[in-house]
């Protein structure tokens, strides 16, 4: 009799015994799920740190040319530019043919138009510049690229700018840091930082084989989607410029060495 009273009913014992285990199991599963979700979120952020930073901060330390090349896309009509390019980060309309015009050709034509003699720098008087900036005194495009860089450099030196990486106080150009905390990088450290972001999958220089470029990539004249790194392109550009200048000087000296060239020139100049 006492044994029957001391032993609860099997159904009641089973329900009471399982109730705390069910609650404990639910708590464990909840904690485990939270840990798994946290680990997945951390791993996702770690794997896509570069892409998330680029998305949240488009004006990061990556130069504009590299960001533009990462956003290359074909024209919606499938047509190519007059230069043969089929990819561009932005497409314009060619006023001559009405077809698509890539960003590089558009910028080149715009620079040629601005350097046609209509613009002149109010600081140094030059009429040619790779890029024109708005002058603070007139509000028009009347400050050349060299004077713009020089003015910014003088302002940073007066403010006591210090490179956050190497600590120098002298630099040709200062670049604000991507964190926008008021710090700057000198030109050398900024180019070194840019070189880390110029890696494109499957892209390498046809001349030297490097997979990183200091500031941007250039299209190789051999075609077939081959590229030039920044150093090889400038080396080729300087070599070609020296060759053209040498040929022009030889032609000029040849014209001056001809007998009677000076007399012909003086007579010809008097003709109205």
Region for residue 224 given its phi and psi (left: phi exceeds 0; alpha: psi -120 to 50; beta: otherwise): left
| pTM of the predicted protein model | 0.41
Between residues 164 and 1, the one the model is more confident about: 164
pLDDT (0 to 100) of residue 3: 43
pLDDT (0 to 100) of residue 65: 55
Averaged over 214-222, what is the pLDDT?
76
Lowest mean pLDDT among 53-67, 68-82, 202-216: 53-67
Q: Provide the β-strand partners of residue 112.
A: none
Rounded CA gap, 157 and 213, in Å?
29
> In total, how many domains does the chain have?
4
pLDDT tens string 225-251: 788 888 898 888 888 888 888 888 888
Between residues 179 and 265, the one the model is more confident about: 179
Looking at the structure, do residues 175 and 131 belong to the same domain, yes or no? no
pLDDT (0 to 100) of residue 242: 87
Q: Evaluate whether residue 10 is within a structural domain.
A: no
Rounded CA gap, 105 and 87, in Å?
12
Rounded to 10 deg, the angle between the 261-270 and 230-257 helix axes is 90
Looking at the structure, do residues 66 and 110 belong to the same domain, yes or no? yes
pLDDT tens string 13-41: 444 444 444 444 444 555 545 544 444 33
Q: Evaluate whether residue 33 is within a structural domain.
A: no
**Taking 70 as the threshold, does the pLDDT of residue 156 lie above it?**
yes
Looking at the structure, do residues 145 and 170 belong to the same domain, yes or no? no
What range defines the domain where residue 192 resides? 160-197
Looking at the structure, do residues 172 and 184 belong to the same domain, yes or no? yes
Q: Evaluate whether residue 192 is within a structural domain.
A: yes
Looking at the structure, do residues 130 and 140 belong to the same domain, yes or no? yes
pLDDT (0 to 100) of residue 225: 75
Q: Evaluate whether residue 52 is within a structural domain.
A: no
Q: Evaluate whether residue 188 is within a structural domain.
A: yes
Q: What is the 3-state secondary structure (H, E, C) of the chain?
A: CHHHHHCCCHHHHHHHHHHHHHHHHHHHHHHHHHHHHHHHHHHHHHHCHHHHHHHHCCCCCCCHHHHHHHCCECCCCCCCCCCCCCCECCEEECCCCCCEEEHHHHHHHHHHHHCCCCCCCCCCCCCCCCCCEECCCCCCEEECHHHHHHHHHHHHHHHCCCECCCCCCCCCCCEECCCCCCCEECHHHHHHHHHHHCCCCCCCECCCCCCCCCCCCEECCCCCCCEECHHHHHHHHHHHHHHHHHHHHHHHHHHHHCCCHHHHHHHHHHCC
pLDDT (0 to 100) of residue 260: 63
Local confidence band at 9 (pLDDT 50, 70, 90 cut-offs): very low
Q: Evaluate whether residue 263 is within a structural domain.
A: no
Are 218 and 227 spatial neighbours (Cβ–Cβ below 8 Å)? yes
């Amino acid at each position: 009799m006492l044994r029957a009273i001391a032993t609860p009913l099997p159904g009641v014992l089973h329900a009471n015994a399982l109730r705390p285990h069910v609650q404990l199991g639910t708590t464990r599963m909840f904690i485990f799920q939270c840990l798994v979700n946290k680990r997945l979120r951390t791993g996702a952020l770690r794997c896509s740190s570069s892409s998330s930073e680029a998305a949240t901060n488009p004006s990061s330390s990556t130069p504009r040319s590299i960001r533009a090349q990462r956003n290359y896309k074909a024209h919606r009509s499938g047509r190519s530019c007059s230069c043969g390019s089929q990819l561009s980060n932005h497409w314009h309309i060619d006023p001559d043919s009405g077809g698509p015009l890539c960003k590089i050709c558009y910028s080149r034509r715009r620079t040629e138009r601005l350097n046609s003699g209509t613009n002149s720098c109010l600081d140094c008087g030059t009429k040619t510049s790779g890029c024109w900036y708005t002058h603070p005194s007139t509000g028009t495009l009347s400050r050349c690229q060299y004077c713009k860089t020089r003015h910014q450099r003088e302002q940073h030196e007066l403010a006591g700018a210090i490179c956050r990486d190497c600590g120098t106080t002298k630099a040709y150009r200062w670049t604000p840091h991507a964190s926008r905390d008021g710090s700057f990088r000198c030109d050398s450290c900024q180019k070194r930082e840019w070189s880390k972001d110029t890696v494109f999958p499957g892209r390498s220089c046809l001349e030297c084989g490097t997979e990183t470029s200091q500031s941007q990539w250039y299209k190789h004249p051999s075609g077939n989607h081959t590229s030039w790194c920044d150093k090889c392109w400038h080396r080729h550009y300087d070599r070609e410029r020296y060759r053209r200048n040498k040929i022009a000087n030889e032609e000029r000296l040849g014209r001056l060495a001809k007998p009677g060239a000076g007399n012909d020139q003086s007579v010809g100049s008097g003709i109205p």
